[in-house]
Chains A and B, each alone.
Chain A
């Protein structure tokens, strides 16, 4: 059964950094892109960014609200993706989800998701 498990969330002060991890199971991680999505309290889903697989260049794309502060990376040998969050703001408080990101017929969809990890930015 395909699974994704996020970890690394917690309480962090504004301006500090935090790194989340996403461990994947039961699929060949190297074959897929991986994306991060967040949900602030009482709000809807917001796309954070994604990392392509190595075959597609391993490059990244980010949403406007996190571009320049967040960095997504991957370690295919370990089956883990990372979300490095810097210069954190109170409005970054959210549950962060990782999801397998499939490219099919010119579109991308998120076919398996993790349960999320909570990040709280507060002094």
Chain B
């Protein structure tokens, strides 16, 4: 059974700082790894999706990397802004015939002005 863990559970940084969010998964047989953002009272917004054959994906100030063999992914946010404050969740899409997306509990990020 796939288990996804995110560290830290919460992070508070001053505006302008670069930061890294960590995600680990126990079963390396995945199709892809996705990072989502969730604002309070809202649904999830897909940020980046890394296929199992890829090493990283970039979108603006966001960069996500994937090391499938070690079961790890990181989300790097450059030059953080108060508007980046949200909960960030990673999710692993299971391999084989089980296309089940397993989520971590998320990291609550607060960027202070």
| A associates with B | no
Interface residues of A (CB under 8 A from B): none
Interface residues of B (CB under 8 A from A): none
